[in-house]
Structure 1
Amino acid sequence: MELKDIRAQLPYSKPFLFVDELLHVDENGIIGTYTFAENLEFYKGHFKGNPITPGVILTETMAQIGLVSLGIFLLQNEPTEEAVIVFTSADMQFLKPVYPKEKVTVTSRKIFFRFGKLKCDVVMKNETGQEVCKGILAGIITSKL
């Protein structure tokens, strides 16, 4: 499966698509990037005069790249093409702020994929290679939404 095909199968669209590019995928993990455009709506109120990316958006970006995109790759050999991994839980640590116009790289390492569940150790880094957040994300297989 081509990396561009994985991105095309994501069940999101702008303004809620937080995957610009997928750089690598295999059965053990995935790496992708996203740049937060300065005109994203949530920056208007988070925070006044000092916009930073909300933690829930960072978590969603990590889930779209590190869990759902990886799940699409892992499900490619499943008997049905009508299945998708959906995000169910996160245990996150936020370490540094992410500002408008910042490009982040998300690296996900599969912990396990069995019994309809996918669990991953996911790290987000900024352009200087500093960890901005990390966590354990989990999802389940469900029928396509």
Structure 2
Amino acid sequence: MDQQEQASGDTGGTRIEAFDIARIMQAIPHRYPMLLVDRMVEVVLGESAVGIKNVTANENFFQGHFPSHPVMPGVLIVEAMAQTSGVLVVETLGESARGRLVYFMSIENAKFRRPVVPGDQLRITVTKERQRGNVWKFACVARVDGATVAEATVTAMIVGA
């Protein structure tokens, strides 16, 4: 896949325009059914990222949540935020992050504005608030058709050899 990378004049970070599931799976260890990011549409190394989750009726969690009124569980929306953040961390650190894991440390101020249902496309924006050593903190917002459906602040730690 072609990857367009360019220096970002206003942010100082390197901007990666888009990449697919194969590169996401190189960055983070999650696999079906727990891989909740389908595509990265923008990454500004060290600063922010936008990930996409296409929500389909075939998702396994809809069998029990809820069969007659399928709703994506809020904890999975937050997990998708964390995975998008993890991809940003690994892409930012590059080779030094290969083979390492990114673990959740905290979730703060999680708010859910409206249900996410089959057919929705989550657009997850994560913005680094700070980084100290191997601990990163992100402001996260998930939107569907431009409307905010969830938001949270997540803190994660990158660990491993």
Unmatched runs of 5 consecutive residues or more in structure 2: 6-15
Letter of the structure 1 residue corresponding to residue 121 of structure 2: K
User: Given the alignment, which residue of 119, 130, 138 partners 2:147?
Assistant: 130
1:100 and 2:122 are equivalent in the alignment: no
Question: For the residues of structure 1 that align with 2:87 and 2:23, how far apart are their CA atoms?
Answer: 6
For residues 20-39 of structure 1, the aligned pairs below 5 Å read 20-26=38-44, 27-39=46-58
Secondary structure in structure 2 of the residue aligned to 1:37: coil
Q: CA deviation at 1:120?
A: 0.3
Q: CA deviation at 1:42?
A: 1.3
4+ runs deviating over 6 angstroms: none
Letter of the structure 1 residue corresponding to residue 101 of structure 2: V
Question: For the residues of structure 1 that align with 2:146 and 2:155, how far apart are their CA atoms?
Answer: 24
User: What whole-Å deviation, never above 9, does each CA across 1:75-131 have from its counterpart, x for those lacking one?
Assistant: 2163x63333222221211111000121110001100112210100000000x2000
Count of equivalent residues: 141
Q: Superposition RMSD on alpha carbons, in Å?
A: 1.9
* Identical aligned residues as a percent: 26
1:12 and 2:12 are equivalent in the alignment: no
Q: Is the 8 A contact 1:86 1:142 kept in 2?
A: yes
Question: For the residues of structure 1 that align with 2:98 and 2:75, how far apart are their CA atoms?
Answer: 29
Bigger relative contact order (CA 8 A; separation at least 6): 1
For residues 1-145 of structure 1, the aligned pairs below 5 Å read 3-4=19-20, 6-9=23-26, 10-26=28-44, 27-65=46-84, 67-76=85-94, 78=96, 81-91=98-108, 92-126=110-144, 128-143=145-160
